[in-house]
């Protein structure tokens, strides 16, 4: 299957709309044996009749099936009703014998934010269930699910991205196409490839980029994404359709990490005493090399909590390193944290292994932010390090977490994610949103920990922590229930450089 994916045409008057760029992209249809044209929204500049008329004129000349969804611009000043007249339903399912494309309008009129509400969520879910046997499954949304770089403070605009991500991964969706950011970007999470298109014909591009579009080829075993700029330059990424599923060759075990978060130690009833001490006993019996606490040590950064936390955390027999959450450094916490738990930025390293803490917490705020300078310095330093296994840990999420809204996401998660994936950092540990999660993005395994011992948690399995075993050839992540000690595997992945047994 060959797809031409364009986005953000922003058809309008000549001062902003570059029709020549669009023509270059559409010319691919005849040249490249394209099966389908997919437009991921923002067809028009202002969603008015004149824009839509012009758009219809252009797309009438296209001789392959066209899938198009409205973007936020298309819904300006009641534009959705014109969209329906000139194009089709804003949501729907396109089916062929082997393929299914589910397209969903994620724009909220007159705002920039994206949302997929319950009705549409169920529509996607049902379409995926009914078409489970299709060999290619594609979803189209205007807004992105996976954080994209250079998004500024906007981070992840789909507010229930975590639930959508889970739905797509569980349903084995092959490809998710989006636009909106006017900046091309490709990520692969597990077996799903997420493609963001740049703008094909808006003169207002971002970061000095020029207009671009994607050519996507899906074969039985491979998926290829070619991002083409209108000047003819291109970037190609190849992905396998399905990763290895059966693991029997592990090699020696190199290192065991216990990964905990949001202990919320305090004398209040919101701190679950029994959960904490059961987990502590269990952790001390696990023979781990290192425990990493991803923040939320205390419920609030006050002296009596820190005193208690110090007393409790000293009972762990493995070495522990910490990274603070916002609540650890509120009130007097900024001073108390260093007094009781040491540096704000901690790390562990030997000749083979490096765990580098990153400070994402903001004083008196739950928001997470790293900033360009800290990020640049961090990745420069990581690049210089010679260890064969590199990991970073921070409090905030860099991927959306199921059952949680986007609040826990790092503001600049898109940039951070791009860097860890490009540098092939093997493991990233996070600890907010209080729901466990473990996925592989590119060559990086990203693991989030649930709350160990706070009433505020979101998992149906209850409070928990993770154990991560690093073998020569694979990484295994378990989730262990704080209270009962029951264990389940969250994931097993081949390590970089050990792709072939």
**The only residue of 5, 8, 426, 468 in contact with Fe ion, by rule CB under 5 A:** 8
Tell me how far, at minimum, the Cβ of 106 lies from Fe ion, in Å. Answer: 10
Pick between residue 220 and residue 386 the one whose CB is nearest to other proteins: 220
Q: Which two tokens stand for residue 482?
A: 């704080």
Q: Does 252 bind other proteins (CB under 8 A)?
A: no
Give residue 293's Cα distance to chain centre: 22
Pick between residue 7 and residue 457 the one whose CB is nearest to Fe ion: 7
Tell me how far, at minimum, the Cβ of 406 lies from other proteins, in Å. Answer: 13
In the region spanning residues 321 to 340, those forming contacts with other proteins, defined by CB under 8 A, are none
**The only residue of 170, 219, 234, 311 in contact with other proteins, by rule CB under 8 A:** 170
Per-residue DSSP letter, 142: S
| CA 460-465-466 angle, 5° bins | 110
- Encode burial over 200-225: b for 16+ CB neighbours within 10 A, e otherwise: bbbeebeeeeebbbbbbbbeeeebeb
Q: Does 105 bind Fe ion (CB under 5 A)?
A: no
**The only residue of 53, 62, 121, 209 in contact with other proteins, by rule CB under 8 A:** 121
At residue 171, φ and ψ (nearest 5 deg) are -85, 5
- The partner in contact with residue 71, picked from Fe ion, other proteins, none with C-beta cut-offs of 5 to 8 angstroms by kind, is Fe ion
* Whether 306 contacts 328, CB under 8 Å: no
Residue among 154, 138, 156 nearest 146 (CA): 156
CA distance 242 to 222: 8
Pick between residue 310 and residue 403 the one whose CB is nearest to other proteins: 403
- The partner in contact with residue 365, picked from other proteins, Fe ion, none with C-beta cut-offs of 5 to 8 angstroms by kind, is none
Q: Does 42 bind Fe ion (CB under 5 A)?
A: yes
Question: Which region, judged by CB under 8 A, interacts with other proteins, from 148-156, 391-399, 441-449, 487-495?
Answer: 487-495
Q: Which two tokens stand for residue 318?
A: 């493995």
**The only residue of 366, 458, 483, 484 in contact with other proteins, by rule CB under 8 A:** 458
| CA 171-176-179 angle, 5° bins | 155
**The only residue of 301, 402, 408, 436 in contact with other proteins, by rule CB under 8 A:** 402
Question: Which region, judged by CB under 8 A, interacts with other proteins, from 69-77, 169-177, 198-206, 266-274?
Answer: 169-177
- Interface mask (CB under 8 A) for other proteins, residues 67-106, using x and -? ----------------------------------------
In the region spanning residues 166 to 195, those forming contacts with Fe ion, defined by CB under 5 A, are 180
- The partner in contact with residue 478, picked from other proteins, Fe ion, none with C-beta cut-offs of 5 to 8 angstroms by kind, is other proteins
DSSP string, 146-188: S--TT-GGG---BTTHHHHHHHHHHTT--EEEE-SSSS-EEEE
CA distance 35 to 66: 9
- The partner in contact with residue 132, picked from Fe ion, other proteins, none with C-beta cut-offs of 5 to 8 angstroms by kind, is other proteins
Tell me which H or E stretch contains 338. helix 333-341
Tell me how far, at minimum, the Cβ of 146 lies from other proteins, in Å. Answer: 19
Residue among 124, 126, 106, 108 nearest 116 (CA): 106
| CA 159-160-163 angle, 5° bins | 160
Helix axes 372-384, 413-422, angle to 10 degrees: 10
Contacts with other proteins, residue ranges (CB under 8 A): 117-118, 121-122, 129, 132-133, 135, 160, 163, 170-172, 242, 245-248, 402-404, 458, 460, 476, 478, 487-489, 491-492, 501
């Amino acid at each position: 299957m060959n797809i031409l994916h364009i986005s953000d045409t922003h058809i309008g008057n000549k001062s902003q709309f570059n029709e020549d760029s669009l023509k270059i992209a559409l010319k691919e249809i005849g040249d490249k044996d394209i099966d389908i044209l997919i437009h991921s929204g923002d067809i028009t500049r202002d969603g008015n009749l004149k824009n839509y008329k012009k758009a219809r004129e252009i797309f009438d000349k296209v001789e392959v099936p066209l899938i198009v969804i409205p973007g936020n611009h298309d819904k300006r000043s009641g534009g959705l009703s014109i969209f329906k007249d000139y194009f089709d339903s804003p949501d729907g399912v396109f089916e062929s014998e082997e393929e299914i494309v589910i397209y969903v309008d994620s724009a909220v009129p007159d705002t920039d934010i994206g949302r997929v509400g319950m009705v549409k969520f169920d529509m996607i879910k049902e379409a995926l269930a009914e078409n489970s046997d299709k060999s290619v499954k594609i979803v189209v949304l205007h807004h992105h699910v996976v954080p994209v770089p250079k998004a500024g403070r906007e981070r992840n605009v789909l507010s229930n991205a975590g639930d959508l991500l889970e739905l797509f991964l569980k349903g084995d969706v092959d490809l998710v196409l989006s636009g909106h950011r006017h900046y091309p970007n490709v990520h692969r999470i597990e077996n799903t490839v997420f493609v963001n298109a740049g703008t094909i014909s808006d003169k207002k591009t971002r970061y000095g980029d020029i207009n671009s579009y994607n050519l996507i080829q899906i074969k039985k075993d491979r998926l290829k994404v070619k991002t083409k700029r209108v000047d003819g330059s291109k970037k190609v990424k190849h992905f396998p359709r399905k990763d290895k599923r059966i693991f029997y060759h592990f090699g020696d075990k190199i290192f065991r990490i216990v990964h905990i978060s949001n202990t919320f130690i305090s004398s209040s009833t919101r701190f679950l005493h029994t959960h904490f001490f059961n987990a502590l006993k269990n952790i001390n019996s696990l023979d781990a090399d290192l425990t990493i606490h991803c923040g939320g040590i205390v419920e609030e950064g006050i002296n009596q909590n820190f005193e208690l936390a110090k007393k409790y955390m000293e009972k762990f027999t493995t070495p522990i390193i910490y990274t603070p959450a916002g609540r650890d450094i509120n009130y007097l916490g900024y001073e108390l944290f260093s007094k009781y738990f040491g540096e704000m930025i901690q790390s562990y390293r030997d000749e083979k292994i490096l765990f580098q803490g990153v400070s994402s917490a903001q004083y008196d705020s739950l928001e997470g932010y790293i900033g360009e300078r800290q990020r640049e310095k961090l990745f420069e330093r990581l690049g210089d390090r010679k260890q064969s296994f590199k990991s970073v840990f921070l409090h905030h999420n860099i991927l959306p977490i199921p059952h949680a809204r986007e609040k826990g996401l790092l503001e600049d998660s898109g940039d951070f994610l791009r860097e860890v994936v490009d540098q092939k950092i093997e493991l990233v540990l996070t600890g907010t949103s209080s729901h466990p999660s473990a996925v592989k993005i590119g060559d990086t395994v990203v693991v989030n920990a649930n709350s160990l011992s706070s009433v505020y948690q979101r998992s149906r399995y209850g409070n928990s922590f993770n154990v991560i075993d690093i073998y020569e050839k694979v990484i295994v992540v378990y989730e262990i229930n704080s209270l009962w000690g029951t264990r389940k595997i969250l994931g097993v992945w081949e390590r970089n450089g050990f792709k072939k047994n």
